[in-house]
Structure 1
Amino acid sequence: MTFDDLRTYCLSKPATTESLPFDETTLVFKVAGKMFALSDMDARPVRVSLKCDPERAAQLREEYDAIEAAFHMSKRHWNTVTFDGSLRNAMLRELIDHSYELVASGLPKAIRATLNQLPAES
């Protein structure tokens, strides 16, 4: 998966926006204003920080060298995934989905009810 693939996939999610709130290269993806992924556009290999269930986050770090605790984030809830070719694209998409769904599930009920009716950013 390339950075462009990551960006396209994240933006395909309902109510997702992107912004550069920290600096000129750290792209942040949000669902209804809440961050679910961030990635340095210039980093090679591509790396993305994703929210994760705490138990699963720890398990993934133990199982995969390409997954580690996220820098400058809650180590309990965030992992950084390096796209070094060791993880299949299907798994990368599943980890992005998990992060999105985890964040979306914490949104107010009224917003959650409208997510699938809202378009992703074009």
Structure 2
Amino acid sequence: MTAESVQDRARARVQELPGTDLEHPFGPGWDVYKVRGKVFMLFTEVTGEPIVILKTDPEEGKALREQYDDISPGYHMNKKHWITLHPWGGLSTPLIDDLVTDSYLLVVANLPWAKRPVDPDTFGRGLR
């Protein structure tokens, strides 16, 4: 993946996820993606490179950081529950898609039933 394509791939994946919105609550240097008002993904270049910040399960996040040089603790977020994807070229398109989807589903699972745009236990299971 090239520098721009990590964000491009994540942006393309989020377009396939129901109930998402793009906001700019932190100013023009931050793209904040939400599902039903809850943040699940952020983009920024304030670090000098285009990064993607995603919510993650703490154990999975730890394993991902150990396995991939392109994944570090969440920039300006809780380091246990968020990860940062860097554009250094070591992340595949399917991995980025899965990480974006997993972040989305973690947030959806914590929404009240009436607000959930999908069932987090079954969404995408036939596709992945």
TM (normalized to structure 1)? 0.85
Provide structure 1 residue ranges, at least 5 long, that are not aligned to the other structure. 117-122
Q: Distance in 2 between matches of 1:41 and 1:79?
A: 15
Which residue among 9, 20, 35 is the counterpart of 1:16? 20
- Mapping of 1:37-116 within 5 angstroms? 37-40=41-44, 45-112=49-116, 115-116=117-118
Q: Distance in 1 between matches of 2:10 and 2:75?
A: 19
Provide structure 2 residue ranges, at least 5 long, that are not aligned to the other structure. 119-128
After superposing on structure 2, the runs of 4+ consecutive aligned residues of structure 1 that deviate more than 4 Å are: 41-45
Q: Is the 8 A contact 1:16 1:30 kept in 2?
A: yes
How many Å apart are 1:12 and its aligned residue? 2.2
Count of aligned residue pairs for this structure pair: 114
Structure with more of its chain in helix, by fraction = 1
Q: Is the 8 A contact 2:9 2:96 kept in 1?
A: no
Q: Is the 8 A contact 2:9 2:97 kept in 1?
A: no
TM (normalized to structure 2)? 0.81
Q: Distance in 2 between matches of 1:53 and 1:4?
A: 23
Call closer, same or farther: CA 1:53–1:107 in 2, change over 3 Å.
same
User: Percent of counterpart pairs with the same letter?
Assistant: 38
How many Å apart are 1:45 and its aligned residue? 4.5
Deviations 1:41-81 (A, max 9, x none): 67765310000000111111111110000121011100001
Which residue among 36, 40, 45 is the counterpart of 1:36? 40
User: RMSD in angstroms over aligned alpha carbons?
Assistant: 1.8
